Amino acid sequence: MKITVLAVDDSRTMRDMIRLALTPAGFSVHVAEDGVDGLEVLEGLEPDAIITDINMPRMDGFGFIDAVRSQEDHRATPILVLTTESAPELKMRARSAGATGWIVKPFDPAKLIKALQMVTG
């Protein structure tokens, strides 16, 4: 069964990279440009996992995770944070917002896939 992933990142390059990494591996990838956009795309979509950046305009990753977690449908959806930040306090912030995992950019496609498979089963 195809794993559906929503990738939220304000960088087009990053979105392309994620898509390029995941699509050939059999994932179905949806993208959004920031938190606000992400929530819009999420409506009517039931992704098996969400990948999100932290630094984004309009609504950043923390706000996005928070908003996703507050929705009954997505309370248990795995959310991977994909960002260049690796500061432990930011990691903790993301976790307390409800992030499932943390991957530091630049990412290795194989590892992203592995991580997604780990959280989606």
Q: Which residues bind another protein (CB under 8 A)?
A: 10-17, 19-26, 28-33, 37, 41, 55-57, 69, 75-79, 84-87, 95, 98-115, 117-121
Torsion over CA: 76, 82, 88, 93 (sign)? negative
Closest contact distance (angstroms) between CB of 80 and another protein is 8
CB of 15 to another protein, least distance (A): 8
Q: How far is the CB of 61 from another protein (least distance, A)?
A: 12
Closest to another protein by CB, 46 or 108 = 108
